[in-house]
Structure 1
């Protein structure tokens, strides 16, 4: 009786366990959408309890199984904890993309792109797909992969694909350009691909306006020049741009023409002007190699020497006119002073004559005679005396007590 009871209990327990196991298998198949059977056939089945916990925590058990299958196929030893983190990601497409990036970086043997590193980058908002694709392209070209510079460039808003394009383009044209230099060029605000093409083929720039300069003989020259700029990739970062080169070319043209004795020196031999410009070091501390310079046109302009002489003659004429006007004004002032002086002399003479008549020193007839003659008779007598002494009437006047001297004023 006891043995029969134990057998029945054992069968019941075994049946219950089988039912539970079957339910777990059905649940695992349901949660993984049939992918659990593939892991079972590979003898690496996923624990149904783990799948249930993933589902209970809000994860995707089917994603867990899918990623584990992909890792098993690629031979990547991913831990269950890492797979659970991927299954708990908000975006299933993002988790699938991350798994694809992990598989591709593993096949390409990019040691820096570890699963944990890619997971952290994906969690930080970076596009690991573009990052891994760029690293794989650089790796396949035979160049060393500097993943840290690509990551830093993408964190600053750059595109790692552009860096890969620049590096591969430079390698195809035998130009030395690494990832570090390409990212530095991009971070400086320049297109690295365009920089590579400009390093291969120079870009021609013409001066916007003719450069006007005057030779020592006074003849003006109007010169139009072109400059072929070839980029130096080693000096793109920290070097001056093309505006500096063009400004230096203009300055060199002005300096060369201004130092020429005759304007025909460069008008007849433009090559001499090109040599002078090249010797001025217009590409110093810039991002370009020494440029090729060509003179497009040289035209003689205005004869500034003749214009300067004509202007000087006009200035001399204006100065002579101003001096003449000043002299006329001085003569008029002198005339006014002499008139005032005569009136003062007349008044003094009349008052003196009246005083002598009142005092009875002269008679009425003498008064009338002297009043009719006026002070001229006295001046005539004085003039005769001064002429005898060798002085002129003007000298006598200027030496008189009423003339002040330098400014011609009356005391």
Structure 2
């Protein structure tokens, strides 16, 4: 064999290998064979076109095989391809449809794909419909009418509502509504003792309110797991009110005291003013007497008689003034 024949043979071998690699890459023959053996009607041309459309056949064909084996006739290749191109999870949707069919749950293909595209795990939702989920609420603080604070914890058993998964509220809304119901139930109780004696009354009252309306879940039961006694809020509020009243009373008393002090200072000022007027008037007496002497209206004997009368009056006032400690020393004015 000459050199040209060797080159031609090598070229054909390499070209054949490259052709087989490209063929099995764009035309998954063994996947087609697996689909034919499973009873799924799909051609090699369709598998090749999936590659051209950037749809992985290894995602679509296993889903078709699983649906065919489960007896689901409403799942088509075009539907799975459209869901994949829309950004959905083909495997989860097929698993959810098979699980729903086995559990006698009415779940159409369109609804399953809508739930998946909405961002929810449709397979987990179907599982939750069969096996309810228990959600533990955070501690909820409420105050009874007698002023005692109670801290309650509840366990909410929910089941997924397939019809409300698209557009329905999630777990956070359910927990918020349950917490609101617990606060309302405890707040309407006359005494905290009645709540401690009958914690099931909280569950019954909360369940009657229909808290699962508009949510993606159906509340099956609400069980009070624990109730602890907190602070005496009523007593604390009364103490705060008493302190506030005391501060107000003290402020008013201080205001009255300040007004009294101001009034006292005003009266002292008026007394000083009156005393000044008396002194001013007394200063006019010697002038009047001198004027009387000059005019002859007052004689010297009249003046001495007046002085004697004043001395006699001062003596009598001194005798009549009370003494201290039995001594004869008169009290100073």
TM-score band w.r.t. shorter chain: 0.7 to 0.9
* TM superposition shift of 1:278: 0.1
- Partner SS for 2:27: helix
- Greater shift in the superposed pair: 132-141 or 341-350: 341-350
Residues 170 and 196, structure 1, Cα contact 8 Å, conserved in 2:
yes
Of 84, 93, 96 in structure 2, the residue corresponding to residue 166 of structure 1 is: 96
Partner of 1:182: 112
Alpha carbons 1:231, 1:288 under 8 Å: kept: yes
Partner of residue 282, structure 1: 211
> What is the root-mean-square deviation in Å for CA atoms of aligned residues?
3.4
Count matched residues: 285
Query: How far off its partner does 1:259 sit?
Result: 1.4
Deviation at 1:250, TM superposition (A): 0.5
| 2:83 aligned residue | 153
Matches of 2:277 and 2:43, distance apart in 1? 125
1:240 alignment partner, SS class = coil
* In 2, Cα distance between equivalents of 1:330 and 1:279: 62
Structure 2 residue aligned with 1:135: 64
Match of 1:52 in 2: none
Q: Once the two structures are superposed, what CA deviation does each residue of 1:145-178 show, in whole Å capped at 9, x if it has no partner?
A: 1434322221133332222222222333333333
Deviation at 1:285, TM superposition (A): 0.6
Match of 1:267 among 173, 196, 207: 196
Residue in structure 1 matching 2:233, options 290, 304, 309: 304
- TM-score normalised to structure 2 length: 0.73
The correspondence for 2:26, drawn from 73, 92, 95, is: 95
Q: Is the 8 A contact 2:170 2:216 kept in 1?
A: yes
Distance 1:362 1:276, change over 3 A: farther
Could you tell me which residue of structure 1 aligns to residue 165 of structure 2? 236
In 2: Cα distance, 1:363 partner to 1:134 partner:
139
Bigger CA drift: 114-123 or 286-295?
A: 114-123
1:146/1:180 contact within 8 Å kept = no
**Could you list the per-position Cα deviations for residues 39-90 of structure 1 after superposition, in whole angstroms to 9, with x for gaps in the alignment?**
xxxxxxxxxxxxxxxxxxxx98996xx8xxxxxxxxxxxxxxxxxxxxxxx9
The aligned residue for residue 397 of structure 1 is: none
Counterpart-to-counterpart distance in 2, 1:134 and 1:337:
103
Q: How much has 1:240 moved relative to structure 2? A: 0.6
Structure 1 contact 230–291 (Cα < 8 Å) conserved: yes
Change (3 A) 1:178 1:31: farther
Change in Cα spacing, 1:62 to 1:32, as seen in structure 2 (3 Å) is: farther
> What is the match of residue 291 of structure 1?
220
In 1, the alpha carbon distance for the partners of 2:67 and 2:124 equals 18
Matched residue, 1:11 = none
Using the TM superposition, give the Cα deviation of residue 248 of structure 1 relative to its aligned residue in structure 2, in angstroms: 0.5
Matched residue of 1:290: which SS? strand
Choose which of 220, 225, 234 in structure 1 pairs with 2:149: 220
Change (3 A) 1:326 1:193: same
Deviation at 1:257, TM superposition (A): 1.3
2:301 alignment counterpart: none
TM-score, L = length of structure 1: 0.60
Q: Aligned to 2:266, which of 337, 343, 355?
A: 337
User: CA shift at 1:363, angstroms?
Assistant: 4.3
Counterpart of 1:315 (choices 215, 221, 244) is 244
Structure 1 residues 102 and 364: CA distance shift in structure 2, 3 A: farther
Kept after mapping to 2: 8 A contact 1:153/1:183? yes
Distance in 2 separating the partners of 1:62 and 1:251: 68
Q: Kindly indicate whether the alpha-carbon contact (under 8 Å) linking 2:26 and 2:48 is maintained by their aligned counterparts in 1.
A: no
The 5 A counterparts of 1:392-411 are none
Contact 1:357–1:364 (8 Å) recurs in 2: no
Is the Cα–Cα contact under 8 Å of residues 253 and 273 in structure 1 kept in the other structure? Answer: yes
How far residue 184 of structure 1 moved from its aligned partner, in angstroms, is 1.9
- Mapping for residues 35-114 of structure 1, pairs under 5 Å: 91-97=22-28, 99=29
Unaligned stretches of 5+ in structure 1? Answer: 1-26, 34-58, 67-89, 370-411
Following TM superposition, the consecutive aligned residue runs of length 4 or more in structure 1 with deviations greater than 6 angstroms are 29-33, 59-62, 106-109
